[in-house]
Chain A
Amino acid sequence: MAKFMVSITHAKDNSDNATVGFVVANASAASGVETVVFLTTEGVRLSSKGYADDVHEEGFAPLKQLMADFVEAEGKIWVCSPCFKKRGLDMNNLVKGATIVGGAKVVEFLTTGGSCITY
């Protein structure tokens, strides 16, 4: 089975990229492809419950809805461990479907047939 990663490096600092990243991830997950959204650098903020509630880019569904759709389509959200730690975010406040991971998990995914696009 094909594997696809969408790396998202932005949150409210570039809500266009954050939103489009999930739009593409949803296209992948809904196509039956094993799909991971990797939230890294500033993008890790999207992993906190409530953070994305007020993000709604013109021309797209609200980010909160996009993220919920992604998880419903069996997509996984991986959250960069050192990026998360650096920002002092709360591990007990992760959105549904999110898991904290480090580099090895990402490397294994990409070196065993995974492809990646970055937003």
Chain B
Amino acid sequence: MSETNDQKNILPDAEIDLGEMGCGDLIIALMKALKLLKDGQVMRVRSLDSGAQADIPSWCRMRGHVFLAGPCGENNEYYYIRKGGCT
């Protein structure tokens, strides 16, 4: 699996692999992972869940995080989130 060229310009501070985790389980795991970061730091998330492309940007909007990038091709499973100040 690969990353897009745009994603390669983003330097993450931390990474988490959420595998096939989805829906509520995915969101709880994201919340716990982002709590470990400082505001402004970037988390790279690997997710194989088909709902993640819709869910992760929604969750970022609700929690005040910045959704930097996500999959834009078939062979891509990485998401980049910059932590906001609302968690």
User: A: which residues have CB within 8 A of B?
Assistant: 78, 80-82, 84-85, 91, 99-105, 107-108, 111
Contacts and interface: CB of A to CB of B under 8 A. Distances in A.
Main secondary structure of the interface of A (DSSP, over half): helix
Contacts of B62: 104, 107-108, 111
A103 B24 contact: yes
Given A81-B49, A100-B50, A105 B22 contact: no
Contacts of A108: 58-59, 61-62
Contacts of A100: 50-51, 54
Main secondary structure of the interface of B (DSSP, over half): helix
Interface residues of B, number: 16
B26 interface: yes
A101 B24 contact: no
Given A101-B55, A104-B62, A105-B55, A81 B50 contact: yes
